[in-house]
């Protein structure tokens, strides 16, 4: 995966609550054997007209939001089905960060393990960012700084956000979750030693019963 450190980019506001994974990518579009090539099917039901032409009313079809690398979303973004292709479609389109009050739990993890940073901020703050983006017709860029743990834009104070350390390490290093977990190898070994001393019976080999 490409490391995520700091991203300054166009942010597309999609502030409707409960945008589910079927809206992000419909079940009928899950036709590939790999995890790439889904970008053109992202939000396809809203992005295209019945004849296949682009819907000019949809946010990602309007300049400059077609260049968005960040989505400002309403609450519970990515709820519904657990399909990982929702994260694949976002990533393939070019989205590297989401900013919302909350996410579907499985979708949120799918984003993290696929190199997308799902920032959680208070709904009032996300709304304020979206209002400023709209007022400036998308020209004002949003900055997501994972190293500092902040979201910022011109005229707005830096907004702190939290992320579990293992996911922070994974995104900063551009590694998978197993590699990120290995950074805790010392702590894991220490836990195992302590656990053996306290609960040795748990790790006692089970012997097969005689025939």
Summarize pLDDT for 65-87 with one digit per residue, the tens.
999 999 999 999 999 999 999 99
**Hey, what CATH topology would domain 6-163 get?**
Aconitase; domain 4 (3.20.19)
d(CA 21, CA 76): 11
Domain ranges of the chain: 6-163
27 Cβ contact partners less than 8 Å away, ≥ 6 residues apart: 81, 83
Residue owning tokens 């997308």: 116
d(CA 129, CA 194): 47
pLDDT digits (tens, 9 = 90+) for 139-185: 999 999 999 999 999 988 899 999 999 999 999 999 877 776 776 77
Q: What's the pLDDT at 27?
A: 92
pLDDT digits (tens, 9 = 90+) for 10-37: 999 999 999 999 999 999 999 887 788 9
183 or 97, higher pLDDT: 97
């Amino acid at each position: 995966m490409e490391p995520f450190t700091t991203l300054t980019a166009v942010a597309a506001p999609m502030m409707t609550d409960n945008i589910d994974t079927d809206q992000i990518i419909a079940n009928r579009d899950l036709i590939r054997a790999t995890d790439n090539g889904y970008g053109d099917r992202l939000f396809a039901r809203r992005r295209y007209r019945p004849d296949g032409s682009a819907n000019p009313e949809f946010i990602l079809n309007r300049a400059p939001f077609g260049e968005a690398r960040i989505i400002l979303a309403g609450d519970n973004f990515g709820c519904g089905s657990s399909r990982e292709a929702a994260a694949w479609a976002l990533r393939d389109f070019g989205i590297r960060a989401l900013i919302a009050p909350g996410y579907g739990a499985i979708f949120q993890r799918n984003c993290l393990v696929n190199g997308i940073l799902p920032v959680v901020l208070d709904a009032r703050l996300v709304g304020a960012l979206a209002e400023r983006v709209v007022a400036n017709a998308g020209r004002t860029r949003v900055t997501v700084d994972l190293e500092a743990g902040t979201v910022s834009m011109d005229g707005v104070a830096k907004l702190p956000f939290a992320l579990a350390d293992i996911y922070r390490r994974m995104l900063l290093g551009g590694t998978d979750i197993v590699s990120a977990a290995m950074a805790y190898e010392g702590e894991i070994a220490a836990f195992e030693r302590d656990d053996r001393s306290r609960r040795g019976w748990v790790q006692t080999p089970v012997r097969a019963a005689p025939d």
